[in-house]
Amino acid sequence: MAPPIIFAAKNRALEGKIKVGAVSYLNTKPLLYGIENSELLQEIELSLEYPSALARKLQNNEIDLALLPVAAMNEIAGSRIISDYGIAANGPVASVCLFSAAPLEEIETVYLDYQSRTSVRLVQLLFKEYWRKSVAFQPAGEDYMEKIGGKSAGVIIGDRALQKLSDFPFVYDLAEAWKSFTGLPFVFAAWIANKELPTDFLNRFNAANAKGLDHLDEVVQSHPFPDYDLNKYFRENIQYYLDDQKKMGLRLFLEKIRY
């Protein structure tokens, strides 16, 4: 059985500002809006990175708290989810997909987006247990999208995925596939810490996340994006509140990738 994923945080004295990291994709903007428009901004050092870089920084204690790909939880000692909010989907997410010039049954090679280990582990799991197809997985460099063609597919995530949705004849949404496979939502990222943080700070941090979701119109207006309807993205594709069904989906995913 997987260990619990929600922990109670205790108070601890911190010297200086709390270092907070987040991914720089569009899907984080509603959560960051609430943080950036609250008094918390005076108490933290906020940095933006791609997902796998955040995992490394938290593991090395270069930051205290991060909106982190959930697959990293199995590898970070003391990892705990400290907020009711994250990045999840209960069906198509649009921004985490397998792109291909050939149908699924003809794919032989899959390039794996170097930016997120959660998406990598998810597509590997889907091929093994849901699609039941053996393919060669290849680590990808920055130019890997140019190699997608023929019988070689690739996982693309984030804003780049939204921009590529109309570029390939076959697009397999990984969150939608997980939902079909398990019947549960999929959690891509959550606010994760590996150390004790002050309870008062965590309560206000949680409230700031909630505040951002009350201002989606302002967030959309502040981030023009002609490639995809952000109203649909923020309100339909992405689900930010981590309810019990999402926690069940997260536990199942962490159990499956633990071995």
**Do residue 197 and residue 82 come from a single domain?**
yes
**Do residue 176 and residue 238 come from a single domain?**
no
**Do residue 166 and residue 55 come from a single domain?**
no
11 within some domain: no
pLDDT of residue 15: 58
209 within some domain: yes
Show Cβ contacts of residue 234 under 8 Å, excluding neighbours closer than 6 positions: 27, 29, 30, 216, 219, 220
**Do residue 81 and residue 100 come from a single domain?**
no
Distance CA 257, CA 33 (A): 32
**Domain C-terminal end among 136, 167, 182:** 182
4 within some domain: no
Query: At CA 127, angle to CA 124 and CA 129, rounded to 5?
Result: 100
**Domain C-terminal end among 136, 165, 182:** 182
DSSP 42-102: GTEEEEEE-HHHHHHHHHTTS-SEEEEEGGGGGGSTT-EEEEEEEEEESS--SSEEEEESS
208 within some domain: yes
Q: Which parts of the chain have pLDDT scores under 70?
A: 1-15, 259
Query: Could you tell me the CATH number of the domain that includes residue 210?
Result: 3.40.190.10
Distance CA 20, CA 157 (A): 22
Cβ neighbours around 2 below 10 Å, total: 15
Owning domain of residue 236 = 18-89+185-257
Instruction: Give just the sign of the alpha carbon dihedral 226, 229, 230, 233.
Output: negative
pLDDT in tens, 144-172: 999 999 999 999 999 999 999 999 999 99
**Do residue 133 and residue 201 come from a single domain?**
no
At 154 the three-state DSSP class reads: strand
Distance CA 184, CA 255 (A): 14
Show Cβ contacts of residue 66 under 8 Å, excluding neighbours closer than 6 positions: 20, 21, 22, 54, 55, 57, 58, 191, 192, 193
12 within some domain: no
Say how many domains are in the chain. 2
**Do residue 74 and residue 23 come from a single domain?**
yes
144 within some domain: yes
Strands, sheet with 109-112, edge to edge from the N-terminal-most edge strand: 136-139, 109-112, 152-157, 96-100, 170-173
Cα–Cα separations (whole angstroms), residue 206 to 13, 202, 211: 19, 6, 9
pLDDT of residue 12: 36
pLDDT of residue 117: 82
1 within some domain: no
**Do residue 101 and residue 164 come from a single domain?**
yes
Distance CA 190, CA 250 (A): 10
**Do residue 49 and residue 166 come from a single domain?**
no
**Do residue 134 and residue 28 come from a single domain?**
no
pLDDT of residue 75: 84
pLDDT of residue 211: 93
pLDDT of residue 255: 94
**Do residue 172 and residue 191 come from a single domain?**
no
**Domain C-terminal end among 182, 202, 217:** 182
Question: Can you give the pTM of this predicted structure?
Answer: 0.90
Question: Residue 217 CA to chain centroid, in angstroms?
Answer: 22
Show Cβ contacts of residue 182 under 8 Å, excluding neighbours closer than 6 positions: 249, 252
216 within some domain: yes
pLDDT of residue 116: 76
**Do residue 189 and residue 172 come from a single domain?**
no
